[in-house]
Amino acid sequence: MMVIHFNKKKLYGIGAFMMMLLGTLCLWKEEVILTNASISYDTIIIDAGHGKPDGGAVSSNGVEEESLNLAIALKLRNALESQGYQVIMTRETSENIADEEQKISLREMKASDLENRVKIANENKADFMISIHMNQFPKSNSWGWQTFYSRNSIQGKKLAQLIQKKIGKYIARENKRTALPIDGIKIVDQTNLPVIIVECGFLSNPEDLQLLQTEEYQHQLVNGIIEAIDDYYEELENGTILYSEG
């Protein structure tokens, strides 16, 4: 199924011009307007979780999370760039991004990998980060996508809620999961921009596992995320989302 998204960035440009005009008029009156919306750079960081030799979660038949994360992240990057967004990827290959000198042990490698993802988030002028992951549970009956955000981020909560909802528009499976706050995750706790973790499905569930490996299902996930991002920027432009750090 091919879905066409209208590029709303031109509309944002008109809105920005009107805001500049309004600001000029206010300066003439020696007034200051404070807004609760953050400055939008239209730049998004896409994080494909894990990376060899850290494969992340592994299904019973050996399918590694890292390869699915990357496949979906690359599709998301391509779709966003086609709409004019600027995209920064934490990784674009199957390898993790740990410093070479830290690849002494798996523990040190993972720590360095996470530190570098946090550094990418904090050192680039981006609006938010979307981190793509897969879920896993001891029992096979758990299924479906779920989003997570920092409880300290109003913007993160809103975007996570939109992604959770919009994916359901493209995937004809009734998913009652909701976006949830999460703590104790380094890329969520130590970054200075909203981070949304998108757990795309359960590798421990046979149906999820089968679907997650198909191009069609991956594109459906991406379509939902993109529509959520478009709606998020529109609400941000309209000033209906309060601003918060992290």
d(CA 53, CA 49): 12
Q: Could you tell me if 211 and 158 are in contact, meaning their C-beta atoms sit under 8 angstroms apart?
A: no
Q: What is residue 202's three-state secondary structure? A: strand
Q: Could you tell me if 103 and 116 are in contact, meaning their C-beta atoms sit under 8 angstroms apart?
A: no
What does the pLDDT look like over 14-70, one tens digit per residue? 444 444 444 433 333 332 222 333 445 689 999 999 999 999 999 999 999 999 999
Q: Could you tell me if 113 and 69 are in contact, meaning their C-beta atoms sit under 8 angstroms apart?
A: no
Q: What is the DSSP letter of 7?
A: -
Domains of the chain by start residue, with CATH: 9-237 (3.40.630.40)
**Amino acid letter for position 5:** H
Three-class secondary structure assignment of 136-149: CCCCCCCCCCEEEE
What does the pLDDT look like over 117-157, one tens digit per residue? 999 999 999 999 999 999 999 999 999 999 999 999 999 99
Give this prediction's pTM. Answer: 0.83
pLDDT score of 167 more than 90: yes
Q: Could you tell me if 102 and 28 are in contact, meaning their C-beta atoms sit under 8 angstroms apart?
A: no
What does the pLDDT look like over 76-106, one tens digit per residue? 999 999 999 999 999 999 999 999 999 889 9
